Structure formats: structure tokens, C-alpha cells
Amino acid sequence: MNKVAGVDEAGRGAVIGPLVVAAVSIEADSIERLTELGVKDSKLLDRRSRIMLYNRILELGSSAVCIAEPRVIDGYVRKHALNLLEARMFADVLSRLRPLLAYVDACDTKPERFSAMIARMLDKDVSMMMISSAHKADRDNVLVAAASIIAKVTRDSMVDDVKRRYGDFGSGYPSDIRTRRFIRYLFANGIVGGDDANVSYSSIDEHNNLISITDVSHIKYVNEFNNTKSSSSSNNNDSRDHTSHRFSFIRYSWKPVRSLLASI
């Protein structure tokens, strides 16, 4: 078995929805088949083409997906450790697929440092895996492009669940004026709260091998952070602190959200 994998993420810069990391692993002699299918960076494809290729990619090889919900992302961002979260998610999917060689899209300014981070977090029995990180790998490497499609389609399905409940809020990125208006409307009108924020992602197919990063027992950083309360926060009964737990699909670490909160 001469398996090679590609890994990429979707949703790192979004203000609504999760961060999704996907890996695709196939036999080395099947890589050319991906090119023949027209696999390319998901950002260069329309939605219909991504869905079509998504199914073809799953027919060719194996995939693994790891998901971090917004509250988890916020925990890492507040500790200035978003790259650490992403490396842990990359290591999780690669440990499950166990390729001999993995190509990954580097989020770190130094690709070799990102490779080393991932390598340290791999399961011990796959520690000999070779990892090659590069910027723009989703554009330049067809395996990483395949992973970008799996990640994008998976995340889109999850975001669609939110849209079915609350309406079309655009792309979910803070640069989108529709997204900003949607968030302002939610907070200003208090139309979502409590159990309403516990969005179900049942529309995701089981064969995607989805796993929430919060359910991975070896990821101590998130659990320790979420269980830690400073004396100042424990004594603060400000209603806005309570409000911040009401919208599970929104990232609060984004400055646009904090500025909206401040204006309410």
C-alpha cells in the first residue's frame, strides 16, 4: 500500500459556522485520476461542481473529517493559538488515514514549522509519516485540492442547517455585509437563545467520518481552557457574558462581533 494524502481546511476566517479540516488519502498511482476529474482548489469551483467532485473523490479514496465548533475556535483564538488548533486537527485526520506521505496547506508563516507541529501530535504508531507543508497547496497540489473540496462541501452542509433555521445570512464571513446585518439583527432582537442555538448537523452523511474536536480525549488544551474561570469572570454577572453562550454557531473572538455587542 503506497497511500498519499492531502489535507486542507474550510472556515478558518468565518464568523459563522465551524472550522472543518478534511484529509483525502488515495493510492499514489491514482493521483492522476483526480486531475482527470478536474479536481482543483474548491475556491475555483462553483457549488454544483464541488458536490459532483465530492462524490467522485470519495469513490476514489478514503477521507476523514475533523470539526471544531465556534466556541472551541474562540478558546484557541483568545490564547493566540489558532495554528495549534489547526495542527491538532490535521494530526487527527492523518492519524486516522495513516498515509506514508501527506501534503498539507500551511497556515503558519513558516511551512516547515507547521509540519513539525503536526508531526509532534500524530499518534505514536504513525510518527514516521512524511509531511510536506506549503502555502497555496490547495492551488498547487491536486490531493490538497481534493481535501479542500471535502472540507468545503462538509462545512457548507453544516452552514445550510443554520440558514434553514434563521434565513440566508450570506457567506458567513465578516467581510459580507449581509452577514454583518444578520448578526446585528440577532443580537438587537434577541430572537435566538437557549436551546435554539444548539443547531443539529444531522444533514451530514455518516460516511464522512465526522468527529468534533471537543470529543477527542487527548486534546487537553481546549478542555482545560473551557473549564478555567478567572476570579474576575466568576464575579461578573454582566448579561452580555451570558448572552455570549446563546449563539453556538457564531464566533465571538471576531472584532466585528464584539463591536456589535458593545453597541447593544
d(CA 7, CA 103): 6
Picking from 132, 21, 6, the residue whose alpha carbon sits closest to that of residue 86 is: 21
d(CA 220, CA 223): 5
Q: Are 171 and 22 in contact (CB under 8 A)?
A: no
CB burial of residue 238 (10 Å; 0-12, 13-18, 19+): exposed
What pLDDT, in 10s, does the model give residues 24-59?
999 999 999 999 999 999 999 999 999 999 999 999
- The pLDDT of residue 88: 94
Picking from 10, 15, 8, 12, the residue whose alpha carbon sits closest to that of residue 253 is: 15
pLDDT at residue 10 is higher than 50 = yes
Distance set, CA 233 to CA 70, 86, 138, 242, 262 (Å): 20, 27, 41, 11, 17
Picking from 148, 143, 208, 172, the residue whose alpha carbon sits closest to that of residue 73 is: 172
- The pLDDT of residue 192: 52
Average pLDDT, the chain: 80
- The pLDDT of residue 262: 63
pTM above 0.85, yes or no: no
What pLDDT, in 10s, does the model give residues 75-84?
899 889 999 9
Average pLDDT rounded to a whole number, residues 166-177: 90
pLDDT at residue 118 is higher than 70 = yes
What pLDDT, in 10s, does the model give residues 224-262?
323 333 333 334 444 333 333 457 888 888 776 777 666
Tell me the DSSP string of the chain: --EEEEEEEE-TT-SBS-EEEEEEEEEGGGHHHHHHHT---GGGS-HHHHHHHHHHHHHHSEEEEEEE-HHHHHHHHHTT-HHHHHHHHHHHHHHHH--SEEEEE--SSSHHHHHHHHHHHS-GGGTT-EEEEETTHHHH-HHHHHHHHHHHHHHHHHHHHHHHHH---TTSSTT-HHHHHHHHHHHHHT---GGGG----TTS-GGG---BGGG-TT-HHHHHHHT---HHHHT---HHHHHTTS-TTB-SSSHHHHHHHHT-
Q: Which residues of 57-70 are buried (b: 16+ CB within 10 A; e: fewer)?
A: bbebbbbbbbbbbb
- The pLDDT of residue 257: 76
pLDDT at residue 19 is higher than 90 = yes
Average pLDDT rounded to a whole number, residues 198-218: 38
Percentage of the chain surpassing pLDDT 70? 75
Q: Are 9 and 145 in contact (CB under 8 A)?
A: no
- The pLDDT of residue 110: 96
40-54, 102-116, 174-188 — which is least confidently predicted? Answer: 174-188
pLDDT at residue 264 is higher than 60 = no
d(CA 34, CA 38): 7
69-73, 116-120, 256-260 — which is least confidently predicted? Answer: 256-260
Could you give all domains of the chain from N- to C-terminal order, each with its CATH number?
A: 3-157 (3.30.420.10)
- The pLDDT of residue 246: 55
- The pLDDT of residue 187: 76
- The pLDDT of residue 31: 95
- The pLDDT of residue 226: 32
Pair type for strands 101-105 and 3-10: parallel
pLDDT at residue 207 is higher than 60 = no
What pLDDT, in 10s, does the model give residues 138-153?
999 999 999 999 999 9
Q: Residue 191 — pLDDT band, cuts 50, 70, 90?
A: low
